Amino acid sequence: MDFDIRKIRDILPHRFPLLLVDRVVAMQADKDIYAYKNITINEEIFCGHFPTQPIYPGVFIIEGLAQAGGILAFTSMFGIDTTSDGKIVYFMSIDKAKFRNPVIPGDRLDYRLNVLKHKGSIWLLEGKAFVGEKLVAEAELMAKIIDNKEQS
């Protein structure tokens, strides 16, 4: 299953500059997802983080993992033809977050997430981010899909 940016935009409500998933390469409902983001020097964040030594912020890596997890949760619950209309994923917790190596412009940030537990609309995911085979960050993420009151 391969989702391009158009399909990702149908599922996630995020938009520039905070849409942090470029492509979904593989996904198994209720099990796992493999997605990525290409990191370029054109990212707005590099204007200030850091102008002379650009490093992609860890909080953006975690957010990218969460967005990939949101795609997995949405499609697992509502099917691959789903859109985010009327629903939104809320973060409930971030645990065991660790940052192992810096991410810099030119890197491809690979997101790999596995479902640890799923009950109703609540999802517990193990996420790992890689550049090549090098682990750059990891965390356990808990999220819940709820009705989007702005859309209802």
pTM: 0.95
pLDDT for 60 = 98
| pLDDT tens digits along 6-21 | 999 999 999 999 999 9
Domain extents in the chain = 5-147
- How, if at all, do strands 32-38 and 87-99 pair? unpaired
For domain 5-147, say whether CATH 3.10.129.10 is its number: yes
Can the peptide bond before residue 17 be classed as cis, meaning omega within 30 degrees of 0? yes
| CA quadruple 66, 115, 126, 61: dihedral, nearest 10 | -20
What integer is the mean pLDDT of 114-119?
97
Which candidate in 22, 25, 32, 49 is catalytic? Answer: 49
49 given a catalytic annotation: yes
Whether 86 shows a pLDDT value over 90: the answer reads: no
Instruction: Compute the mean pLDDT over every residue in the chain, rounded to the nearest whole number.
Output: 94
